[in-house]
A and B are shown apart, each in its own frame.
Chain A
């Protein structure tokens, strides 16, 4: 293809047959580079996103539509300035605030322990679907079952599995990164029920008391 015959055979028989083959190596090098560039650009620069649905603040909600959280299932995570994070379980006025940390050994351990039952089901679900063929249908099925477990709708022996509800409260001085980190933990720990609530003076008081006591 890239061989060009210069037609030396005809006509002037004295002219030496020229090898007009063009060396494509530098071109291939260049294109290779460009391909690499575009490959990296397309895959890495796509931003990720997390979807979030906030509760409506409409006043006309019926009482039974308002979600009541069972005391034993509630856990409140408080985010404060300088990457401080605290949590307590159950009712605020009875519970003790515990300081913790971000990441594997901190809040995640607490949440995983709290969500142990659902995690067990998620593991089982993953196992079940790891052998199945991946297509649109199984994917949708998987997602639906996962969401059932996460939101505590799955029933075992006629009884709904218990999943915690996490209440996230961030103080004004907390950074956006902290909030995203905590929301991330919800994903990792397969917690489907969480709300972002307003940080109140009472919460600040609890933090102050803890700091003063320590």
Chain B
């Protein structure tokens, strides 16, 4: 018996790949719809935006690329959708070189199409991408036009009514960075620490642990961690704005709630393999001793 179990350690890894593949594919084709529980770091971002109105401005920075879009895109869409629902003005931009521009253009175009009453330049502006990392961030905090002379289409900022109202990010009421990697940290330790602007970050699950240090220190008002956090934000929107049900029930829309079905099944498969691996490990040790 022990020898048979010990043989499991040499299992062909293609079986693992097959199970993970099925665990990913089946919930995509047949959504399960697991319930979502809201955690405080996500709730606090939602609550902050709920306090804002049509005279307030949110700076939304798309600091991610296609590699993490599956996690970051639903949270970016949910945040900008929430702002548009409350008629909060949005200044969207990107600081991530590997696909940040595609992310900001895609999200702004996609979500603004749901709100035909909103006017570009008055209710929202897409500044596009700027290279330069922290230097660009410092510049746009002081004055957007120093970092972005024009918006993503090259329109001078001086001709856009919203940009007359908010000259720099420090004049906004909230900055949200949807980030992969280190850029979200810069928003906390440059923009929050130096200008006092409330900062929230939406990040991938793998980088969430490091952001807890900033969250606990009060340098960030909230955190959307990975697909789980994004699904929580979607649930908050569904609870607070029932009209979003038509958006989130669209079978073609990639949502975090659907992604959570995949994550749940895959996590269970991985845990199952870890347990199986340890049973095989101990069976092997027992067989050797015998």
Q: Do A and B bind each other?
A: no
